[in-house]
Structure 1
């Protein structure tokens, strides 16, 4: 991969990662509920989903998903349902003092990682997006493995830095507000509503 082509990939990936979506909402919510450091586990889970998305597209399965309406819609509805579940769970959650819990609902590192993974994975539009995005940076007349390694490292590395370095950090000023039951309840409701809104967009925007 030439340097100009890589720089184009890098720039596009930064713009895409900075675009607010379910992953950004999940990251900010985790940062508020369990703290900036521990929110890394959720970000890491999201990167595992990105790795799987890239592997799916590279293996050609993405074409099958994109060209099979029933499969695409099944994943789309499942993803939306999961986001609605997360939203409702946040809205009805009983706020707990941060000193007494590892996070909202006592979330463990594994729970944060698992939730981040499913939030990113259950988005069929991500597969279709990668299907249109990745081929632009792959040259079929050159060895594929090194190209996919560079592409994967760039996409995952940039998204990890943006999610943890930007979105998780952006939530830090609200931590003091989240420390009170009233503040935590308000922020949970806001992020819960955002999860539900993203689920609606996932279903309505084609």
Structure 2
């Protein structure tokens, strides 16, 4: 991959990562409730899902998903349902009592829980597979060794996404962290981000 092509890839990845979506909302929610440093666990989960998407496309399975309306719709509705679940859960959670896992208000969420949620937020998005199906071939030259190019594509995508999620979206939530110190503040923020999850779910279903 030439330097010119890589710089184009870098710029494209930055634009994509800066586009608000479920991953950005999940990252900001984690930063608000768990702190900027610990929000990295959720970003790691999201990036594992990105790796799976890229591997799926590189292996040719992505074409099967893109060409199967039933499979595509099944994944799409499952993703939307999961986002609605996250949104409703945030809105309904009591901020002055232990949550449904027995943690007291404001208690740290386990790293595994954050990683798992981040993974499913990104994984249950078939449009990401279709996007990579259209996006990735533009940066992979068929007359050059494939594996190094895919490795560069993967490393660049993950590096840019991590930097923007952690350095931009998670950092943007830090000024509002003080609002989580009171039950009312936590309730307000939970309602806002819960509603955003539901809006993204609706867009996932309605926007084709």
Shorter-chain TM-score: which interval?
over 0.9
Contact 1:102 1:108 in 2 (8 A): no
1:74 aligns with 2:78: no
* Structure 1 residue 107: Cα displacement: 1.9
Write the deviation string for residues 31-70 of structure 1: whole angstroms up to 9, x where unpaired.
0011111110000000000000000000000000000000
Contact 2:95 2:105 in 1 (8 A): no
How many residue pairs get matched? 203
Summarize the Cα distance change of 1:55–1:88 in structure 2 as closer, same or farther, 3 Å threshold.
same
Summarize the Cα distance change of 1:141–1:104 in structure 2 as closer, same or farther, 3 Å threshold.
farther
Task: Please give the residue correspondences for 1:105-116 in structure 2 after superposition, counting only pairs within 5 Å.
Answer: 106-116=108-118
Instruction: State the match for 1:186 in structure 2.
Output: 188
Instruction: State the match for 1:11 in structure 2.
Output: 11
> TM-score, with normalisation over the residues of structure 2?
0.95
Aligned partner (choices 97, 121, 130) of residue 119 of structure 1 = 121
CA–CA separation in structure 2 for the residues paired with 1:171 and 1:121: 24
* Structure 1 residue 131: Cα displacement: 0.3
Task: Please give the residue correspondences for 1:32-181 in structure 2 after superposition, counting only pairs within 5 Å.
Answer: 32-96=32-96, 106-181=108-183
* Structure 1 residue 103: Cα displacement: 7.4
The runs of 5 or more residues in structure 1 that have no matched partner are none
* Structure 1 residue 94: Cα displacement: 1.3
Write the deviation string for residues 43-100 of structure 1: whole angstroms up to 9, x where unpaired.
0000000000000000000000000000000000000000000000000011159xxx
Runs of 4+ aligned structure 1 residues displaced above 6 Å come to: none
> TM-score, with normalisation over the residues of structure 1?
0.96
Structural RMSD (CA): 1.4
Instruction: State the match for 1:24 in structure 2.
Output: 24
Write the deviation string for residues 113-139 of structure 1: whole angstroms up to 9, x where unpaired.
000000000000000000000000000
Summarize the Cα distance change of 1:58–1:193 in structure 2 as closer, same or farther, 3 Å threshold.
same
The runs of 5 or more residues in structure 2 that have no matched partner are 98-102
